[in-house]
Structure formats: structure tokens, C-alpha cells
Structure 1
Amino acid sequence: MAVRSSPLGLTVLALLLYKPLHPYGMQRLIKDWGKDQVVNVGQRTSLYRTIDRLTEGGLIRVRATERDQAYPERTVYEITDEGRATARAWLDEMLATPRRDYPEFPAALSNLLMIAPAEALSALERRAAKVDGLLAEHDRVLARNARENLDRVAGLETEYARAVTAAEHAWLRGVIDDLRSGTLTWTGATP
């Protein structure tokens, strides 16, 4: 069974290349290593679904079931040879091939005519404040990485996220300035 690539699937395979883990250990490492900034593990069910898909596809397998009185039974997974090859293929494909994502923000922008310019200005100003916070967080992570003398490769995803966030910040500020000055306006907002 061919397993479709996904950011979380790739991350699980990468973690299991590091060492065999149980799902809670995977989730903890994803958060500890800051990978939760690029893969969604907020809901543990998505991690379990991904593990199930990878297991059914032969990319990972159960290594052991641990029993400890302090914890519920834990299934430890390990990567298979096919999983190693697949992880490398997915990584190569994800690095080399731009994908068209469909995030919420551009969809909302494409429907801006539903509201008045003043409403758009208010919403975009609130977004800009949140983007300012994201930039500050990226800067904190990068500064921490520098203090800890981590290799640059350990924070490339944060560098990328910061660059994209900075571009959004600059674009937002331009649109906000145009809305404030009245150089960007429209009519036809529906009540």
C-alpha cells in the first residue's frame, strides 16, 4: 500500500530514524525540538492516525509494548527499511517541488468585498499585531539557537518561517497604510 506523503508523516519517520519511540515520546520530541511550528500535533489523534497509516503502509512497525506501573501500556515503533527509503524520497520531493497550499488568509482576502474597507482595516490591524508577535517569537527561537551554539541546519525551518512572516508583515503594513490613506478602497459591501 502506497502511503501519501505529509509533513507529519515525514516528521514521524525522521524521529524514528533518530530512535524507536512511542507516540507520547514522538509528540514530546516534536514540541521539544520546535517541530510543532511546522507540523500540527495539537490534536494527538492526528499523530495516531499518521502512525496507523505509516504502519499499514509498512513504513514503520511495532518494536515492543512497554508496561510500566506509572504509565499506561505504550507501543514503541521503529522505522523499516522501506520507511527509510520513503522518508528520503519524501524529503527530496518536499524540498524540490513547490506545492500550492490553500491557506485561509488568501481565501479571506479573495472575499474582502463582503465587508467595508474600515472593517478590513480593523481586521488587518489585529492580524498585523499578531504577526508582530510571531516575528518576535521567531527572533527568540533564533537567538536561543545561537546562544546554545546549535548548528544552523537545526533552525532552518525557523529562519524560513521568519522570512515568510517578515514578508507578510511588510505586505500587511503596506495594505494597512493604503487603507488608512484611502488609496485602497471599494464599495459594494453587503450588510
Structure 2
Amino acid sequence: MTFRRSPLALAILGLLENGPLHPYGIQRLIKQWGKDQVVNVGQRTSLYRMIVRLEESGLITAGATERDERYPERTVYHLTEDGRTVCREWLAEILTTPRNEFPEFPAGLSFVMLVPPETAGELLAQRRDHLTKRMAELDAELTLEVEGAPIPRFALLETEYQRAVTVAEAEWIDGILEELRSGSLTWTPGPV
């Protein structure tokens, strides 16, 4: 069975590399390690659905059911050899091949001509303010410590990347805002 990769599926397989986990443990680690900044865990039901799909595909397998009087029964999942292989293949594809992921911001930019340039400038200035706050949040994440020790850099590469992209976007918006202010970028709003 061919399984379509997703960030959540990759996260589940990647976390199971370190040993068996139950779904709540997977969700907790995704959040605890800050991976929820790059992996949409959403509601617990989407995590459970993904686990079922991975199990049906033979990439993970159910193991023992843990019983603890404080919690409901929890099934522990293990990574299969096929799962380990697929995880490595996905990782290689993701790291080597740029992909158009259709983010919302470029889609919004493609229709910016529907509003007057002054409105576009106001909206982009608001976005720039949000980006400034986001850069501060990312800077704080990059200096976090666990039990008094800095987090190893390899565990923060996605945060470094997010910061670099955020900085680049902010600089690009600064350029567009300057062009809107100077009048070198303009248009007449109207239907497409």
C-alpha cells in the first residue's frame, strides 16, 4: 500500500524511532519538543486517525496495552522495519526536493490588486508587525534550556529555518512597503 507522506506521519515515525510510545506520549513529545510549530497535530482525533492509517499500511504495529489506574488503557505502538525505511525515504525526499506547498500568503498576494495600494500597505504593515513579534518568539525558543542546559542545535534547526524565513519575509515586506510609499508600485483596484 502506498502511503502519502505528511508532516504528522513523519513525526510519528520519527518519534517511534526512539522506542515504543502510546498516542498520548506521541502528542506530548510533539508539543514538548516544540515540533507543533512545524507539525499540525490538531485535535487528538487526527493523531489517532493517522496512527490507524500508519498501522494499516504496516509502517507501525500495535504492541502491548498499558494499564494505569490513573489513565484509560493505552495501546503502545512500535515502528516496523518498513516504517523505518519509509521514514528515511521521506526524510531524504523532504530534505533534497523543494516542493510547492501552496501557503496562504502568496495566494493572498496574487489577489492584492483587489484592494487599493494604500489598504495593501496598511495590511502588509500589520503583517510586518506580526513578523516582528514572531521573530522575538523564535529568538526566545532558540535560547531555551532544559534542566539548565542549552538545547542542542540539531534539535533547533527547524526553529532556525523558521526564523530565517521570517526575517526574509519581513525584509521583503519592508521593500514592498517602501515601493508603495514612494508610488513606484501601484495599481488600480478592481475585479480580476
What is the TM-score normalised by the length of structure 1? 0.93
Q: Given residue 92 of structure 1, which amino acid in structure 2 is its aligned partner?
A: A
Structure 2 counterpart of 1:162: 163
Residue 10 of structure 2 corresponds to 10
Contact 1:124 1:172 (8 Å CA) reproduced? yes
Displacement of 1:47 in angstroms is: 1.4
State whether structure 2 residue 50 is matched by structure 1 residue 50. yes
Q: Deviations over 1:135-157 (max 9, x none)?
A: 11111111225973332211111
- What amino acid does structure 2 have at the position aligned with 1:125? A
Match of 2:25 in 1: 25
Give the match for residue 103 of structure 2: 103
* Residue aligning to 2:179: 178
Structure 1 segment 3-152 matched on structure 2, within 5 A: 3-144=3-144, 148-152=149-153
Bigger drift between 109-118 and 173-182 goes to: 173-182
| 138-147 vs 78-87, which moves further | 138-147
User: Identity over aligned residues, as a percent?
Assistant: 55
Gaps of 5+ in 2: none
Deviations 1:58-111 (A, max 9, x none): 000111222222212212111111111111111111111111110110001001
Helix, strand or coil at the partner of 1:18: coil
In the TM superposition, residue 39 of structure 1 has moved relative to its aligned partner by 0.5
Following TM superposition, by how much is the alpha carbon of 1:22 offset from its aligned partner in structure 2, in angstroms? 1.1
Question: Residue 102 of structure 1 aligns to a residue in which SS?
Answer: coil
Provide the aligned C-alpha RMSD in A. 1.6
Cα distance, 1:20 vs structure 2:
1.0
